[in-house]
Amino acid sequence: MPPIVKKALRNRWFTAGVHAGFWLLLYLAVVNLGGRVPDLRDAEGLTSPPHSPVPVAGLERLFSPGVWPKSLTDTNLLNPFVTRYFIPQAPPPPTTRKIEVTYQGFYQTGDGPKNTIFKLGEAFMVAPIGARIATNLFIADATMQALTLTNLAVQTNILPLNVKQELVVPIQ
């Protein structure tokens, strides 16, 4: 430090004056000097609110389908962005169907043929022995306990009395 500053700091009158000044500032801060906090209030806007820089009303017309020009190319052509590679082939049409048959019994009048009573789906049917029930299914025999059905390949199905059974027959 320069000798002049050292001499001023060591001076008793200077230090006493600085000390008294700090006490005066403290006293004035405590007394508040009679000042008040200014009245603060929200300022009222004198200008209109700012306008939106984006014209939103025009966006609706921009994306409407009537604005775009019609395509000059054929619309039935294959789309280059779609592939049929991942689409599975359609399953072949079924060749068989299932029918529900319930044997209800049989009756015979005199020397006439036996007539069987059965339920095909929800309809009651009466047919003689040898009649066709479905596409490839014929009545072979009827007893008190069971009805025997056969097809052209000589495969037989035995239906017990009053038991609903599902049979697979070819579609015509």
Give the containing element (helix H, strand E) for 124. strand 123-128
Q: Are 136 and 152 in contact (CB under 8 A)?
A: yes
According to DSSP, the residues that pair with 114 across neighbouring strands are 108
Mean pLDDT in consecutive groups of 10 residues from the start of the chain, 172 residues:
84 91 89 73 71 70 72 64 76 90 93 92 92 90 93 89 91 78
pLDDT score for 65: 73
Q: What is the DSSP pairing of strand 146-150 with strand 156-160?
A: antiparallel
For the stretch 82-131, pLDDT in tens is: 777 777 888 899 898 899 999 999 999 988 899 999 999 899 999 999 99
pLDDT score for 134: 87
pLDDT score for 143: 92
DSSP state letter for 32: G
Domain boundaries, given as residue ranges, for the chain: 3-32, 96-170
- Predicted TM-score (pTM) above 0.85: no
Q: What is the DSSP pairing of strand 96-108 with strand 164-170?
A: antiparallel
- The CATH fold assigned to 96-170 is SH3 type barrels. (2.30.30)
Sheet of strand 123-128: strand arrangement: 123-128, 114-120, 96-108, 164-170
pLDDT score for 2: 86
Side chain identity at residue 109, one-letter code: T
pLDDT score for 72: 59
pLDDT score for 125: 92
Question: What b/e readout covers 11-37, taking b as 16+ CB neighbours within 10 angstroms?
Answer: eeeeeeeeeeeeeeeeeeeeeeeeeee
pLDDT score for 128: 94
